[in-house]
């Protein structure tokens, strides 16, 4: 059954059902989201805000630019596109609340594939206790998925611009696995071993660090970003916003054993340049580290220095490493 075999109402009803069942599996429904006053099917979703701050983000994926259908199933593509939005909310220290999706698909796209994608939306929504509350389906020759997400927070939103000299730079999880998974998929091997499968799975199905963001939001003078374009590239952006520099120690970068096993030569380059890890990169006052460690996993990878010192990556011997090895994703190159 193709999209142009069913009318718009039927299609919306099929997809709303996938979402409702998915949300219900996680104990969520429009009924227990008391703040939600209008959901799927009207011109807009609506609610009564009940947090002192709201955050608002939008992120899109385009076929053959951000994903390939031979590298991931539609379930994972749906999961991951929403994950990248949830991660932006996480980086502000907020809880994701309500999402909308605009899908651009050709008329010959199958309803089965669409349902798989919605199952991905539903499952990650439930996992993070948020709801997809509507959207739009438009005709497009190449597939794109554009998602918009609202989050709520009790604390003022975290930003990129509060890093200052003396702060330590931390990561809330390992990095590089997603990029490694992509590199493995690009090899198109007939079979993958356990380590490789682990890395590929991390590429396909990331878990954003929402609870870590909330813990960070309780501190003062914290800067955060999510690692979407690569640690080095994202740290560069954070330092530009905060008008500071940073020194990173490459041996401190947390990586999964599977990454260093599969890529014994290149794992550090992959870890620093590879994007889509969706852990948080943050700068905090060193006094806060011990306390933070009681609540979240974290890895100190370096420190903030003056703007004039720029950004350096040092190896175990204190030698500067070539930054060109660590450049990440640029959206138009």
Is 114 one of the binding residues for a copy of itself (CB under 8 A)?
no
Is 52 one of the binding residues for a copy of itself (CB under 8 A)?
yes
Q: How far is CA 193 from the centre of its chain?
A: 26
Q: Which of 3, 114, 235, 292 binds a copy of itself (CB under 8 A)?
A: 3
Footprint of a copy of itself on 214-233 (CB under 8 A): 225-226
Is 279 one of the binding residues for a copy of itself (CB under 8 A)?
no
C-beta of residue 254 within 8 angstroms of C-beta of residue 299: yes
Is 51 one of the binding residues for a copy of itself (CB under 8 A)?
yes
Residue 203 in tokens = 């590429």
Residue 236 CA to residue 276 CA, distance in Å, equals: 16
Is 265 one of the binding residues for a copy of itself (CB under 8 A)?
no
Q: Which of 98, 118, 198, 263 binds a copy of itself (CB under 8 A)?
A: 98
Q: Which of 127, 164, 241, 312 binds a copy of itself (CB under 8 A)?
A: 241
Report the residue number, 100 or 171, with the smaller CB distance to a copy of itself: 100
C-beta of residue 140 within 8 angstroms of C-beta of residue 104: yes
Q: What is the largest CA-CA distance in the chain?
A: 65
C-beta of residue 158 within 8 angstroms of C-beta of residue 223: yes
Report the residue number, 120 or 151, with the smaller CB distance to a copy of itself: 151
Footprint of a copy of itself on 281-300 (CB under 8 A): none
In the complex, least distance from residue 316 CB atom to a copy of itself, rounded to whole angstroms: 32
DSSP 63: B
Q: Which of 28, 47, 113, 125 binds a copy of itself (CB under 8 A)?
A: 47
Of 47-55, 110-118, 166-174, 310-318, which segment contacts a copy of itself by CB under 8 A? 47-55
Backbone angles phi, psi at 169, to 5 degrees: -100, 130
List all residues 6 or more positions away from 323 whose beta carbon is below 8 Å from its beta carbon: 232, 311, 312, 313
Residue 245: C-alpha distances to residues 167, 235, 248, 312, 328 (Å):
11, 9, 10, 8, 18
DSSP 41: T
Report the residue number, 184 or 222, with the smaller CB distance to a copy of itself: 222
* Site residue total, a copy of itself (CB under 8 A): 70
Residue 263 CA to residue 246 CA, distance in Å, equals: 26
Is 41 one of the binding residues for a copy of itself (CB under 8 A)?
yes
- Show the binding pattern over residues 117-136: x = contacts a copy of itself (CB under 8 A), - = does not: ----------------xxxx
Place of tokens 């499968």: 197
Is 70 one of the binding residues for a copy of itself (CB under 8 A)?
no
Q: Which of 19, 28, 45, 82 binds a copy of itself (CB under 8 A)?
A: 45
290 CB burial (10 A radius; 0-12, 13-18, 19+)? exposed
Counted residue by residue, the chain has a size of 333
- 3 state DSSP class of 246: strand
Is 88 one of the binding residues for a copy of itself (CB under 8 A)?
yes
Residue 110 CA to residue 303 CA, distance in Å, equals: 50
Q: Which of 151, 176, 181, 328 binds a copy of itself (CB under 8 A)?
A: 151
Is 155 one of the binding residues for a copy of itself (CB under 8 A)?
no
Using CB under 8 A, list all residues that contact a copy of itself.
3-4, 7-9, 37-38, 41-49, 51-62, 65-66, 88-89, 91-92, 94, 98, 100-102, 104, 107, 133-142, 144, 146, 148, 150-151, 153, 156-157, 159-161, 225-226, 240-241, 330-333
């Amino acid at each position: 059954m193709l999209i142009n075999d069913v009318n718009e109402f039927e299609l919306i009803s099929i997809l709303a059902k996938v979402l409702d069942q998915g949300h219900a599996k996680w104990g969520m429904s429009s009924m227990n989201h008391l703040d939600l006053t209008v959901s799927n099917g009207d011109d807009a979703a609506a609610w009564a805000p009940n947090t002192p701050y709201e955050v608002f983000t939008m992120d899109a994926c385009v076929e053959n630019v951000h994903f390939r259908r031979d590298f991931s199933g539609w379930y994972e593509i749906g999961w991951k596109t929403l994950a990248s939005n949830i991660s932006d909310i996480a980086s502000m220290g907020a809880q994701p609340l309500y999402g909308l999706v605009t899908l651009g698909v050709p008329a010959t796209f199958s309803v089965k594939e669409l349902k798989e994608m919605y199952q991905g939306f539903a499952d990650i929504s439930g996992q993070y206790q948020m709801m997809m509350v509507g959207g739009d389906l438009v005709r497009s020759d190449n597939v794109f998925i554009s998602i918009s997400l609202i989050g709520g927070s009790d604390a003022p939103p975290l930003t990129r611009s509060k890093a200052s000299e003396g702060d330590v730079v931390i990561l809330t999880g390992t990095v590089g696995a997603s990029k490694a998974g992509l590199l493995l998929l690009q090899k198109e091997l007939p079979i993958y071993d356990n380590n490789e499968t682990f890395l590929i799975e991390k590429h396909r199905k990331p878990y954003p660090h929402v609870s870590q963001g909330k813990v960070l939001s309780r501190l003062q003078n914290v800067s955060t970003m999510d690692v979407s374009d690569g640690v080095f590239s994202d740290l560069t952006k954070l330092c530009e916003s905060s008008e500071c520099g940073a020194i990173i120690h490459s041996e401190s970068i947390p990586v999964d054993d599977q990454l260093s096993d599969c890529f014994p030569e290149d794992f550090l380059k992959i870890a620093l340049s590879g994007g889509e890890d969706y852990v948080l990169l943050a700068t905090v006052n060193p006094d806060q580290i011990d306390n933070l460690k009681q609540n979240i996993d974290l890895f100190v990878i370096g420190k903030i220095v003056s703007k004039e010192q720029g950004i350096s990556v040092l190896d175990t011997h204190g030698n500067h490493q070539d930054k060109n090895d660590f450049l990440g994703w640029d959206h138009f190159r």
